[in-house]
Amino acid sequence: MKPILFTNVRLIDPQSGIDQPGKLLVKNDKIVGVDLPTTEGQPEDCEIIDGQGSILCPGLVDMRVTVGEPGYEYRETIATAAEAAAAGGITTMAILPNSKPAIDNPALVTLLKAKGEATKSVSILPYGALSVGCEGQELAEIELLQEAGAIGFTDGDRALANTKLMLQTMLYASGFDGLIIQHPEDPSLAKNSSATESILATRLGLPSVPTAAEAIMIARDLRLAEQTNCRLHFGHISTAEGLDLIRQAKAKGLNISCDTAPVYFDLNEESIGDFRTYAKLSPPLRSEADRLAICQGLIDGTIDAIASDHLPRDVDDKRLPFAEAAPGGTGLVTLLSVTLIQVKNGNLTLPQAISLLCCNPARILRQSIGTLAKGSIADLCLFDPDQNWQVQAGKLPGRAQNTPFDNRILPGIVLGTWKSGHRVYKREHS
């Protein structure tokens, strides 16, 4: 394929310390030149892409994604998730293992990676199951899973509730420097809940879970991580109390990290409105005070990464009474745009946002991606932060359409996505 020269772009790569107008040259699948002078190293036969002042950054690294494959292909397949990811500027997805069957054996890890390669548009980094079948009863063969390519271990949207088993797991994982990812929610408190415990939940008559359910699980696992020196990551942090515990543990030097999802810094519990099932999520949407605390966690760096928390559901999962509807929302296409709201309102700079979406997830997962450094793989996202678009459920890329942001006007249009130097998405003029 021809070399590609991006011109008239704002290059942003926090990992390399780059934030400046310039040019970038791609040859084959690698970045071979950054901010080249007009005549130096510029092939005569290259394709020239004029960014017209748009942002060129590394492809997004989404570290928390559920897909329907294997077992729930009617909700979504890897191919349809890859389509949505490309439209959202995402070039790498870390896939949760709570599928059917669960990703608890090395052959399934290998299969998922191969399916990602087959799309030619997204890399799949599989998480291995923490327990057999993600059922929380028996430790999975996590070291073998890591040898097969699993990047960490989790039971997905289920917390590992058995304290003794979690201690054994952390001791085992610390022996080979494995990463444990926890869904921080005490399952006995969260069982059958639909909303956060509040006046609103009471008024709507919904079974609810106290925010303490998150803090209780975080406090337990922080103590175990301190005892074992295990690498520990908490997914989708959503409460002020949980965040404060993580902030304190980081100050003590514990080997921990955490992410949140756009819904938890952009929406609050009022979004469920009159039983709006698209806004039924796990964990549930929280109070405005919690939302503001999550925003502060992004600002002060307590939160390391933003992940889509993409969880596809079909119509039959959502067209039910609120208490019976399945939790979950799509997030691949809206990940960048909802994050850019935090840039528009002054909470984050663009480089900070891109760190949370690209560089930091790559660092936590120990992947040599998420950078524009010379010699790195040309996974790229070109976007215009000043153009807006409207979210329309039913018309989004990919199969899953259950978005809590339906009808919202969002900033930031992805103009193009490149995977290993190949263009995998081009924005069509509307």
**In this structure, which amino acid lies at residue 263?**
V
How far is 22 from 24, CA to CA, in rounded Å? Answer: 7
CA nearest 383: which of 343, 348, 347, 329?
Answer: 343
Q: Give me the phi and psi of 417, to 5 degrees please.
A: -135, 135
Which residue is catalytic, options 186, 221, 309, 317?
309
DSSP 188-251: HHHTT--EESSHHHHHHT--EE-THHHHHHHHHHHHHHHHHT-EEEE-S---HHHHHHHHHHHH
Active site residue 384: no
Q: Which residues contact 164 (CB under 8 A, 6 or more apart)?
A: none
How far is 375 from 373, CA to CA, in rounded Å? Answer: 6
For the chain, the maximum distance between any two Cα atoms, rounded to a whole number of angstroms, is 68
CA nearest 386: which of 412, 365, 366?
Answer: 412
CA distances from residue 395 to 223, 333, 391, 402, 406 in whole angstroms, order as listed: 46, 11, 8, 11, 10
Check the CA dihedral 244-245-250-256 and report its sign.
negative
Strands (E), 149-197: 153-154, 179-182, 195-196
Run of H or E residues at 32:
strand 30-34
CA torsion angle 271 275 280 285 (round to 10):
40
Residue 133: DSSP 8-state? G
How far is 40 from 15, CA to CA, in rounded Å? Answer: 25
Q: Give me the phi and psi of 259, to 5 degrees please.
A: -130, 165
Q: Give me the phi and psi of 410, to 5 degrees please.
A: -120, 150
How far is 139 from 155, CA to CA, in rounded Å? Answer: 11
Structure-token match 């018309």, residue found: 395
Tokens standing for 211?
Answer: 């925010």
Please, are residues 379 and 420 in contact by the beta-carbon 8 Å criterion? yes
Which residues are marked as active site?
Answer: 309
